[in-house]
Amino acid sequence: MKYMLPYIINLPPFMFRGVDINKLNSFQKFLFIIKGKLLSFIIKNSNGSLFCKLINFFYKEESKIYYEKNYYKKNLENIGIISYPNKRILRMVNNFHLQLEKLYLSYCLNYIDFNDQDVVIDCGANVGELNIALKFNRQDVNYIAFEPDIGTFNCLKINNPEPNNIFYNKALSNKTADQEFFVDNLGGNSSLVDFGGKESVLISTVELDKIELPEKIKLLKIDAEGFEPEVLKGCLNTLSRIKYISVDYGHERGKEENSTITEVNNFLYNENFELVKFSEYRLIGLYENKEYK
């Protein structure tokens, strides 16, 4: 991800959404870069209401972001208000519907035939964008989410107020314990694997096998920032009840930024899952339980 164009030229990635750079002439590209540099300065040097006002100035055609009660918010058309504990709200600036659709496709959810009230478990839920993307695509599921960071967890609950949802302020792991959690809330890269960050906290972890769950689970989505193998080892007894597993095994494990694709793939194949879809957008694979009944 860090080698993609927005990062190479150091412009905010959200501003590229819905823009075909190849169709811009030289002068338009120059203006685009200037706009990106101004936005980068605003993002780095402002906060709260001022930050929102300055961002809104550049995206007047969109519904506005705003700051209220320590949360950054935006009213998403036909969905409702989404809240973030930080400037990650930028993910919903500039064509938010494209962001939600890309998220839906990134986890290969378009391959799955969802029915109303199917059970979806979200490991590494953050503020619950996965369920918002499902709702955006008219999928009404029973959503079970795990998010260990308390500020992000509070937004997760606010963003998904349906009474059938269940939330755990814990991280999934291969053991039930208090573990050191390395924090990067703004980048969404917080992990139980030390990636060289400056901040860490103690959090509660639990195996999925220790959680009381419905008999049938349509989807387990895992985005554990490099901790995917441990999450899977903690749900050995639950795997037979899961039809699909969507795993983000990008280059996020530790300071070396390794991918967990080989370990995850071998583990799931040994547990009778097969890779049925590979994401066109990110290093994500969708696996189907060959023995699911």
pLDDT per residue over 244-270, tens digit each? 999 999 888 988 889 999 999 999 999
Position 114 pLDDT exceeds 80: yes
Structure tokens at 84: 């973030």
Encode pLDDT of 135-186 as tens digits. 999 999 999 999 999 999 999 999 999 999 999 999 999 999 998 888 876 6
- 113 DSSP β-pair partners: none
The pLDDT value recorded for residue 291 is 92
The pLDDT value recorded for residue 184 is 77
The pLDDT value recorded for residue 270 is 96
- In this predicted structure, which of 5-9, 52-56, 76-80 has the lowest mean pLDDT? 5-9
- In this predicted structure, which of 43-47, 89-93, 252-256, 283-287 has the lowest mean pLDDT? 252-256
DSSP 223: -
Residue 210 class from Cβ within 10 Å (0-12 exposed, 13-18 middle, 19+ buried)?
A: middle
Under the banding of pLDDT at 50, 70 and 90, the label for residue 8 is very low
Give exposure, 5-35, as e/b (b: 16+ Cβ within 10 Å): ebeeeebbebbbbeeeeeeeeeeeeeebeee
Structure tokens at 75: 């009213």
145 sits in which H/E element? strand 142-146
CA angle 280, 281, 283 (to 5 degrees): 90
155 sits in which H/E element? helix 150-159
CB 260 within 8 A of CB 226: yes
Under the banding of pLDDT at 50, 70 and 90, the label for residue 188 is low
Nearest to 222 by CA among 110, 145, 139: 145
CA distances for 175 relative to 70, 109, 149, 204, 207, angstroms: 34, 29, 18, 10, 6
Nearest to 141 by CA among 119, 124, 126: 119
Under the banding of pLDDT at 50, 70 and 90, the label for residue 55 is very high
Q: Which amino acid is at 6?
A: P
The pLDDT value recorded for residue 166 is 98
Structure tokens at 33: 């870069």
Percent of the chain surpassing pLDDT 90: 81
Region 109-137: what's the mean pLDDT? 96
The pLDDT value recorded for residue 98 is 95
